[in-house]
Amino acid sequence: MDPEELELQNDYRYRSYAAVIEKALRNFESSSEWADLISSLGKLNKALQTNLRYSLLPKRLIIGKRLAQCLHPALPSGVHLKALETYEVIFKIIGTKWLAKDLFIYSSGLFPLLAHAAMAVKPVLLTLYERYYLPLQKALLPSLQAFITGLLPGLEEGLEVYDRYIA
């Protein structure tokens, strides 16, 4: 555990924030169809935004796992878009320092998405990459191969976002 994380465990406000997030994550356990997942993601977004003063998220491994599950190819694009919205909320909260440290947690769901994403999802995903991944620069090196492999399906000519993928 990171020393900063250990220090936060002693803060009662952080522990209560962790409890709110844990409660939101429990909603995923009872989700039986895709509409339930959208509702669960909405509750998670709300829980994440209850205390914006902490850049270190509690339960981030479970959050990353749930988000990756919401990007499953069999789910409709509405679930994918809501999950990408949650990623955006998380990336705004954690900043580049924690994104660089926890890159593996969030990338496991995002990198494979482009290959099966609907047309409405592709520009949103690309915006996430442009806004949050590219500014990492050297911190992106450990996952650069996976990042590039995840971008390759976007290089289909004729796509409206083709030029953005090339750039």
The first and second tokens of residue 70, run together, are 């919401």
How many other CB atoms are found less than 10 A from the CB of residue 118? 11
The number of folded domains in the chain is: 1
What does the pLDDT look like over 92-113, one tens digit per residue? 999 999 999 999 999 999 999 9
What does the pLDDT look like over 49-75, one tens digit per residue? 998 889 999 999 999 999 999 999 999
State CA 116 to chain mean position distance: 17
Q: Find, among 49, 61, 122, 56, the residue nearest to 89 by Cα.
A: 49
Whether the model clears a pTM of 0.75, i.e. scores above it, the answer is yes
Range of the domain at 73: 3-166
CATH no. for residue 83?
1.25.40
Given phi > 0 = left and psi -120 to 50 = alpha, else beta, which region is 11?
A: beta
